[in-house]
Amino acid sequence: MSLLNKEIREYREQLRKGHIQKAYKGIMTFMSALKSHMENVDPAYFSSALYFGYMDMTYFAFTSPALKEKKLKIAIVYLHEAGRFEVWLGGSNRKIQAEWIEKLKGKDIGNYKLSQIQPGVDSILEAILTEAPDFDDPERLKDDLTKKTLVFIADVAAIVI
């Protein structure tokens, strides 16, 4: 039996239990509500479509006009396996991303993590928003993530603008 067949059999068994579908739907519903919540904070910000991902990460962009002018974007990311929310500064493409990583080397970036230029890395700077989100209190979680994201955006703007 092929390895893929074995993996698919395990996947189907987990789906029969029903927990994966409920959890995934809950995460997607929350992410959609968070996106709407953040869009109401400042209509001048640019928001992207929600990227559902491959059960690895789910995210959307929420970017100020000043960052967008520099071909930069902010992503609010839910990492499925880690079960946490992060916020990332990204570039509009890999070239912009690599240029900004180089520009920020040696610069004071506070407590933020500077990414390395390598395949599969989609960020320039990263920060953890919350390690243990409480999805049972969605309003509080949306407010907390929004506040922390706005702080990140302000900090990033002070660094790059």
Q: pLDDT-based confidence at 120, cuts 50/70/90?
A: confident
3-state helix, strand, coil in the chain (%, to 5): 50, 20, 30
Q: What is the DSSP letter of 159?
A: H
Contact 49, 60 (CB under 8 A): yes
Q: What is the DSSP letter of 51?
A: B
Q: How many separate domains does the chain show?
A: 1
The pLDDT assigned to 161 comes to: 82
- Taking CA 151 as the corner, what is the angle to CA 59 and CA 133, rounded to the nearest 5 degrees? 50
Residue found under tokens 């902010």:
74
The pLDDT assigned to 121 comes to: 85
Per-residue model confidence as pLDDT tens digits over 51-94? 999 999 999 999 999 999 999 999 999 999 999 999 999 999 99
Q: Quote the domain boundaries for residue 24.
A: 3-160
Contact 145, 83 (CB under 8 A): no
pLDDT at residue 1 tops 80: no
Q: Is 152 exposed, middle or buried (0-12, 13-18, 19+ CB in 10 A)?
A: buried
Per-residue model confidence as pLDDT tens digits over 128-152? 999 999 999 999 999 999 999 999 9
| Nearest one of 91, 156, 149 to 123, comparing CA atoms | 91
